[in-house]
Amino acid sequence: MFSFGTVFTFALLLIPPTEAVDSSYVAAVYEHNLILNPDPRVPLSRLEALQHLQKNLDIFEVQAARAAQQGAQIIVFPEDGLHGFNFSRTSISAYLETVPDPEQESWNPCLEPLRHNNTEVLQQLSCMARRNNLYLVANMADLQPCSVSAAPSSCPPDGRWQFNTNVVFRSDGLLVARYHKYNLYFEAAFDAPPEPEIVTFDTPFAGKFGLITCFDILFQEPTVILVEKGVRQIIFPAAWMNQLPLLDIIQFQRAFSLGANVTLLAANIRNDQLIMTGSGIYTPFSATYHHAQKGDPEEGRLLVARVPVLDPEWLGHNAASSEAAAVDESPGYCYSDTCLDSPASTAPVFVSSMMYDPFTFALLNATDGEMRVCNGTFCCYLQYRWVEETGRSELYALGAFDGTHTVNGRYAVQVCALVRCAGSDASSCGQEVDEAESKLDFMLEGKFASRHVYPSVLSSGMVLEQPERVEAAADGRVSLKHSSVMGGLVTACLYGRMYHLDTA
């Protein structure tokens, strides 16, 4: 059934066919097995850097053409997909190009290659968009000179900014957007821009898209700012190292698209050594995604899907632009206050580390039941029932965590998670596991001190399930009900981000 590396599309578009003709578009994302510079810490000449970049550009060219043949109107390539990783501030020098600000200057690098020197990558990407007649999003390394003396200045001492940068080309090759990544993740070669940049671009086929990069997806700036401005289509190039049980990237891609009620065009790198895979085209109603499995050949993967336009302005709707959670505002699954306040509370708890955070856990100890686990005043409630034909040989636990994650990034969360424990001992709860046989019906609920709660259900073999029902109440309660599990349950999660408690 779950053949390795297959693309799963688990829901059809919930739009009337007549409307679909003119209010949908075809998007493509490419998961790229990039050709790395074997020695990224050694500075190269420009010629050597271009020879390396060309190997990845050649692959992009082939994939852009394949996407165009399948009708794609936009294609997204992953972060670091051309140059790679692990450069120092100096050793990346030969890879840098100065990307002009498209707000200041209208430039089609393919048609006017001589306007700016040292722009071979920009020229090729521009021609690639033009040749294939599609919008093209790629990630590259940008050098912006700045003045150290013009006080007050956050210009680095060497007089230049080096930015991790998304560039967007129109289908005729015009450079239409440039976004500098704000939330860097251990990237010695790059600077964060002094202020977060809120960057969008318009398309004739789907209206507005917003740009973020990789680690940005976990933070308020710029991601939630874009969503709160009414941007409903987000482009997400990433080079994301997966971490189960909660942050394999396909889990968070699915969860973010649902929780923020947006479309996410997500392109990740494929690199087995760095645990990078997981790309997709997600809408609140559908997901077309790819996640490689152990033993799969280490190769790229093009995904193409037709999806509905969500931009309200393009659709001619009233552009009221408050952030919408893709969840029903309702009293919640528990129509009284009984669930979270229920006496189903006194499960014996233990603390176990999940992704470096001390979760408070309790084991599911029966074939069905209800239970509550709290971390301080933050409580998670679970109703569950094992589906008959699957035995109870696997151990599951309900975990709650309220606090600040501090390892490899700092961010405040409230999380309710139902996890399969990796072994038969309670101390294995919270460890990585990606397979399970147990099918459970469940309702997971928490009362969050944030409106930003991202729901996901992951089943055996890295298969995402569309939560059957997610509801949010005005008092912060969010419930996730799922009673038609397709595969063994690996993780069900309500991931609450407490952006307001983040400290630098």
Number of C-beta neighbours around residue 406 at 10 A = 10
Give the nearest distance from C-beta 103 to ligand NAG in angstroms. Answer: 20
Coil, helix or strand at residue 103 = coil
Residue 55: active-site member: no
Measured from the CB atom, the residue of 86 and 390 that comes closer to ligand NAG is 86
Q: Verify binding: residue 402, ligand NAG, rule CB under 6 A.
A: yes
According to CB under 6 A, which one of 327, 339, 416, 490 is a site residue for ligand NAG? 327
Q: Answer yes or no whether residue 117 interacts with ligand NAG by CB under 6 A.
A: yes
Which among 10-18, 358-366, 383-391, 410-418 is the span making contact with ligand NAG, rule CB under 6 A? 358-366
Q: How far is the CB of 430 from ligand NAG (least distance, A)?
A: 12
Beta strands in 188-262 (DSSP E): 200-203, 207-211, 233-237
DSSP state of 194: S
Look up residue 483 and give its two tokens.
Answer: 């009673």
- Please confirm, yes or no, whether 481 is among the known catalytic residues: no
Cα dihedral sign for 348, 352, 354, 358? positive
- Is omega for the bond preceding 312 within 30 degrees of 0, making it cis? no
Site residues (CB under 6 A) for ligand NAG, limited to 171-230: none
* Annotated active-site residue in 110, 127, 155, 214: 214
Lookup: tokens for 433: 């596991």
Task: Count CB atoms within 10 A of the CB of residue 330.
Answer: 14
* 78 upstream amide cis, omega within 30 of 0: no
Q: Binding of ligand NAG at residue 310 (CB under 6 A)?
A: yes
Q: Does the protein bind ligand NAG through residue 470 (CB under 6 A)? A: no
What is the number of H-type helices and E-type strands within the chain?
Answer: 6, 26
Residue of 31, 155, 181, 465 with catalytic role: 181
Residue of the chain from 346, 393, 424, 503 that contacts ligand NAG (CB under 6 A):
346
Q: Does 165 bind ligand NAG (CB under 6 A)?
A: no
- Sequence-ordered list of residues with C-beta below 8 angstroms from that of 409, at least 6 positions apart, any chain: 185, 215, 218
Query: Is 360 a residue that touches ligand NAG (CB under 6 A)?
Result: yes
The kind and range of the H/E element at 46 are helix 46-69
Q: Which of 36, 75, 199, 265 binds ligand NAG (CB under 6 A)?
A: 36
CB of 497 to ligand NAG, least distance (A): 16
User: Candidates 125-133, 238-246, 365-373, 379-387 — which segment interacts with ligand NAG by CB under 6 A?
Assistant: 365-373
Q: Reply yes or no on whether 181 is catalytic.
A: yes
Cβ–Cβ under 8 Å, residues 413 and 400: no
Query: Using the rule CB under 6 A, which residue among 376, 391, 409, 423 binds ligand NAG?
Result: 376
**CB count in 10 Å sphere of residue 21:** 8
The interface with ligand NAG within residues 282-301 (CB under 6 A) comprises 284
Reading across the β-sheet that carries 411-420, which strands appear in turn? 350-354, 357-363, 396-405, 411-420, 489-497, 453-459, 463-465
Question: Does the footprint of ligand NAG cover residue 110 (CB under 6 A)?
Answer: no
Question: How many whole angstroms separate alpha carbon 263 and alpha carbon 278?
Answer: 16
Q: Which of residues 219-278 bind ligand NAG (CB under 6 A)?
A: 261
**Which x/- pattern over 54-93 shows residues binding ligand NAG (rule: CB under 6 A)?**
-------------------------------xx-------
**Buried b or exposed e, range 415-454, using 16+ CB within 10 angstroms:** bbbbbbbbeeebebbbbebbebebbbbbbbbbbbebbbbb
Cβ-based nearer residue to ligand NAG, 193 or 230: 230
Q: Is 43 in the site for ligand NAG (CB under 6 A)?
A: no
Task: Indicate the residue among 40 and 102 with the shorter CB distance to ligand NAG.
Answer: 40
Minimum CB distance to ligand NAG, residue 41 (Å): 9
Binding site for ligand NAG (CB under 6 A): 36, 40, 85-86, 116-117, 261, 284, 310, 324-327, 346-347, 351, 358, 360, 365-366, 371, 375-376, 402-403
Q: Which active-site residues does the annotation give?
A: 79, 181, 214
